[in-house]
Amino acid sequence: MTAENEPRPTQHQTKPHKKRFRTLSNIDIASIYTPEQLTDDAARYRDSLPGQYPFLRGVHEDMYRGRLWTMRQFAGFGSAEETNRRYKYLLEHGETGLSVAFDYPTLYGYDTDQPLARGEFGKCGVAISSLEDMEILFHDIPLKDITTSMTINGPAAIVWAMYIANAENQGIPKHLLGGTIQNDILKEYIAQKSYIFPPEPSMRLIVDTFEYGFKQVPSWNTISISGYHIREAGSTAVQELAFTLADGLEYVKAAMARGLAIDDFAPRLSFFFNAHNDFFEEIAKYRAARRIWAKEIKNLGAKHPRSQWLRFHTQTAGCTLTAQQPEINITRVTLQALAAVLGGTQSLHTNSMDEALALPSEKAVKIALRTQQIIAEESGVINTADPLGGSYYVEWLTDTMEDETYKYFDRITKLGGVIPAIEKGFFQREIAESAYRYQKEIDEKQRVIVGVNRYQSNEAPSIPLLRIDEKGEERQIQRLQHLRKTRDQAKTDATLATLRKAAEGTENLMPSLLACIHSYATLGETCGVLRDVFGEYREPAIY
């Protein structure tokens, strides 16, 4: 036989190009999977169908054949006027839900003219200091016809009150409003750090929104329990899964301790996950999350199937975007978005290719939206529910991630629960160690990041970048000054005094917050009352 006719070496005869194959959570991966590697305990759930407990294969029987996921693009920059124009652009190009990013002063409950806020106007999101700003933000946008997601935590109840008040002023009944407030303060203590109040009053505010929501705004998701920022802070996929679900169960227990019936509020709980680079690990994460949540919420007494659903929004991983060769971020985002869809997400945001350099330009955000539309309309992955169900590897990895999650649950329980574990620095240390390990692997080229530690290019980025209007901050301050001069100050003072009295007691604060907002009290003024009553959180020294 001649050399050119000799058989090529088979795969098992070739030398592996890596010493170790593992997920981003450091789970070792075998070269092939068979039925023998699947656990007997998890197997009893594997034959369940989509729409059936424990919802491993999806919360809806027909999944995307019945309805596509909501296509969102996170947007918010500079002034309410600028962001309003971006929303209209996105809606014109096929977006089906809005997502609001707020600037850091807003996230911390400060008005734009507060000295601590100066220079931060509109840098990472839109500045919203009053009901007037909220009215401008959604001018000529039909609130009863779209859903809005707002990434806000410390002052979430106040900003939600602004949204509700704006709708009421337009004559739209509260029960017609749909959307989500993130409202996840435990994640802030763990990862993102945009907290305001200590844990106890923060949890009170969250339970207030649960109670007010199911009674007055029944189509609104009053919390989006967020693993996204835990992952962005450097956690593994397993840590994201475990810490997020632990937070969710803590909120449920807090609401039940208030006396709320679990089947009243649980159907409006939602989740927010990251879509990172390890394609199959991400899919397994979403599948495991549904199964764990269904079992745990049932154990707490939930009887209604909707209470047992884990419904979630997904955003592709901002931390994976590279400033080097930004165009190739389109490929990363496509793979991440595809994993989210195959994992059964109900809502999806795709990051833009330029976000490692600046807030996204119109061209970049349109490409990101078109990525979702191509997956939906051209890829064929929506044709059947959970198309990867039954894959030996996917099922094994789903089972493994569930097992690892319960190991974390045990550790958290031994520390006394979520809040004691936060106070002891447990979550923070776990995430810091994972982030360090991941970065070290990149620095030592044990993990390849295309364009960063391999396949580099010396070409400077040539894509257009968005520029923010530098004069927006002064215009915002002038608007605030005019608002304070023209509003009914006696009415504003009265509503703030009523809020103070309510905060000093035990009643639900949402009605008082709405009254303040309707009187055009600003975010900073309203939040200032709660700061006076509740105090501010100071993170303990843990390292």
Cα(418)–Cα(464) distance, integer angstroms: 44
Cα(462)–Cα(326) distance, integer angstroms: 9
DSSP structure string for 61-115: SSGGGT-PPEEEEEE--BSHHHHHHHHHHHHHTT--EEEEEB-HHHHTT--TTSG
Cα(182)–Cα(225) distance, integer angstroms: 7
pLDDT tens-place string over residues 487-519? 999 999 999 999 999 999 999 999 999 999 999
Between these two residues, 355 and 529, which has the higher pLDDT value?
A: 529
Cα(61)–Cα(54) distance, integer angstroms: 12
Q: Is the pLDDT of residue 13 over 70?
A: no
For the chain, the first-to-last Cα distance in angstroms comes to 67
Q: What is the CA radius of gyration of the chain?
A: 24
By CB atoms closer than 10 A (0-12, 13-18, 19+), residue 79 is buried
Cα(336)–Cα(314) distance, integer angstroms: 10
- Over range 354-363, report the average pLDDT: 87
- Over range 72-78, report the average pLDDT: 81
Strand ranges, E, within 319-442: 347-349
Contact call for residues 292 and 227 (beta carbons, < 8 A): no
By CB atoms closer than 10 A (0-12, 13-18, 19+), residue 36 is exposed
- Over range 511-530, report the average pLDDT: 98
Strands 70-75 and 178-181: unpaired
- Burial profile 211-232: b = 16 or more Cβ within 10 angstroms, e = fewer: bbbbebbeebbbbbbbbbbbbb
Cα(401)–Cα(39) distance, integer angstroms: 12
Cα(34)–Cα(68) distance, integer angstroms: 33
162 closest CA partner among 102, 75, 97: 102
Cα(524)–Cα(155) distance, integer angstroms: 10
Contact call for residues 64 and 39 (beta carbons, < 8 A): no
pLDDT tens-place string over residues 371-392? 999 999 999 999 999 999 989 9
The phi and psi torsions of 448 (rounded to 5 degrees) equal -95, 130
CB contact set of 67 (below 8 Å; sequence gap of 6+): 60
Q: Is the pLDDT of residue 1 over 50?
A: no
172 closest CA partner among 159, 163, 183: 163
Alpha helix ranges (H) inside 415-471: 418-423, 426-443
CB atoms within 10 A of CB 323: 14
pLDDT tens-place string over residues 142-177? 999 999 999 999 999 999 999 999 999 999 999 999
- Over range 439-466, report the average pLDDT: 89
Which pLDDT belongs to residue 262? 98
Cα(337)–Cα(349) distance, integer angstroms: 8
Which domains are assigned to the chain? 35-443 (3.20.20.240), 481-534 (no CATH)
CB atoms within 10 A of CB 477: 18
The phi and psi torsions of 166 (rounded to 5 degrees) equal -60, -45
If you average pLDDT over each of 36-40, 75-79, 94-98, 151-155, which comes out highest? 151-155
Secondary structure class of 128 (helix, strand, coil): coil
Any idea which of 101-115, 302-316, 349-363 has the lowest mean pLDDT?
Answer: 349-363
Which pLDDT belongs to residue 3? 42
Cis peptide bond N-terminal to 326, omega within 30:
no
| Both tokens assigned to 463 | 């894509």
| Both tokens assigned to 394 | 């996917």
313 closest CA partner among 180, 209, 114: 180
Angle between helices 392-414 and 237-258 (to 10 degrees): 50
| Confidence band of 461 (pLDDT split at 50, 70, 90) | confident
- Over range 188-205, report the average pLDDT: 96
Torsion of CA 291, 292, 294, 300, to 10 degrees: 160
Contact call for residues 361 and 89 (beta carbons, < 8 A): no
Strands 220-221 and 223-226: unpaired
Q: Is the pLDDT of residue 522 over 80?
A: yes
Which pLDDT belongs to residue 4? 46
Any idea which of 12-26, 196-210, 257-271, 377-391 has the lowest mean pLDDT?
Answer: 12-26
Cα(355)–Cα(345) distance, integer angstroms: 23
**Greatest alpha-carbon span in the chain:** 99
Q: Is the pLDDT of residue 20 over 60?
A: yes
Q: Is the pLDDT of residue 543 over 70?
A: no
- Over range 109-122, report the average pLDDT: 91
Cα(406)–Cα(390) distance, integer angstroms: 23
CB atoms within 10 A of CB 19: 6
CA distances to 24, 239, 398, 458 from 27, rounded to whole Å, are 7, 12, 12, 35
Cα(187)–Cα(312) distance, integer angstroms: 16
351 closest CA partner among 156, 51, 17, 101: 101
The number of residues in the chain equals: 543
483 Ramachandran zone, left/alpha/beta (phi>0; psi -120 to 50): alpha
Contact call for residues 99 and 75 (beta carbons, < 8 A): yes
Percent of the chain with pLDDT over 90: 83
Which pLDDT belongs to residue 43? 61
| Both tokens assigned to 54 | 């424990």
Q: What is the mean pLDDT of the chain?
A: 93
Q: Is the pLDDT of residue 542 over 80?
A: no
Which pLDDT belongs to residue 119? 86
- Over range 29-36, report the average pLDDT: 91
